[in-house]
Amino acid sequence: MKEDKATRIWKIISPPIVYLFIQMIVELVVAIAAVFLELTGIYKKYGLIKDSSAVVEKIRYLVEQNATYTVALSAFTVIVIFGRTMLLSGRKYNKIESSDIFPVVFFAVMLSLAVSNLISAIQIDNIYGSYENTSGNLLQGNIIYRLAAIGILTPVAEEIIYRGLVYDRAKKEFGTINAMIVSSAAFGIFHFNLVQGIYAFLIGMAFAWFYEKFGSLSVSIFMHMAINIVAVLLDYYGVTAITENSLVIRIVLMLAEFAAAAYTFEIINKKSDKKRGI
């Protein structure tokens, strides 16, 4: 039976909505656990609660401190649920050669850093809240947990959602270019922050382009992983803090990063064309 247009559109937009719902449920569970543990501890130590505002602030702090674990659990749940959906869809992917991984990953990292510096240079972050501030809760805690949650699990989950499902379904409905825009727009919108939204849209377009070019979800996953891992490491070693207060340094870095990304992009295209005999 042929599905109507409304049903097909819903199938395109529903994966991010379900992902958001899963995140909300996990956050609620974490919040309830924090409330229970905090109230139990206070009662055992002091008896009846006298300062409710202090308790609420402590609970909020505990929830923020556990943001990395919340993200990891949400991402793992999404991988299990939607990974199975993709397997059942019968979608076949091309195998990517190991020699293609490094240039694609290098391009992704350079483009990511360049876009971040561009956003900072034009001071969108000063008006609407910086990328560093909005993602600060995720860049806290044990470095191994951060790398696992943000560098591995989240990229796999988000690429399954936005490229593996949203893009593929949108492509059938709207065509390749429109599918790139739709999937990247959804990727940006569901970050719920203007700065991160602009950044995610631009990077999402690159993910979608390479996903289409190589016909392999592993390509966009590797790109996404590399970007997130570099972001975590730069924050951990304080590199971001060194450059964020100097506009001149950011502009110089941005130009160098854009140049490196453009050069790598040209190399990737030439290699791809040579393989195809063009």
**Per-residue pLDDT for the chain (278 aa), expressed as one digit of tens each?**
567 888 999 999 999 999 999 988 988 887 777 777 666 665 455 455 555 666 667 667 766 777 788 889 999 999 999 988 887 777 788 888 888 899 999 999 999 999 998 887 776 655 444 444 445 555 566 789 899 999 999 999 999 999 999 999 999 999 999 999 999 999 999 988 888 899 999 999 999 999 999 999 999 999 999 999 999 999 888 887 777 777 888 889 999 999 999 999 999 988 877 775 65
pLDDT at 129: 45
Torsion of CA 27, 154, 177, 105, to 10 degrees: 160
pLDDT at 278: 58
Whether the pTM exceeds 0.85: the reply is: yes
Pair 163, 211: CB distance under 8 Å: yes
pLDDT at 3: 76
Report the distance separating Cα 220 and Cα 214, nearest Å. Answer: 9
Report the distance separating Cα 21 and Cα 189, nearest Å. Answer: 15
Helical segments of 66-193, H only: 67-89, 98-121, 124-128, 131-134, 143-146, 154-159, 168-174, 176-189
Report the distance separating Cα 14 and Cα 110, nearest Å. Answer: 32
Report the distance separating Cα 267 and Cα 270, nearest Å. Answer: 5
Report the distance separating Cα 135 and Cα 16, nearest Å. Answer: 19
Report the distance separating Cα 192 and Cα 40, nearest Å. Answer: 34
Pair 158, 223: CB distance under 8 Å: no
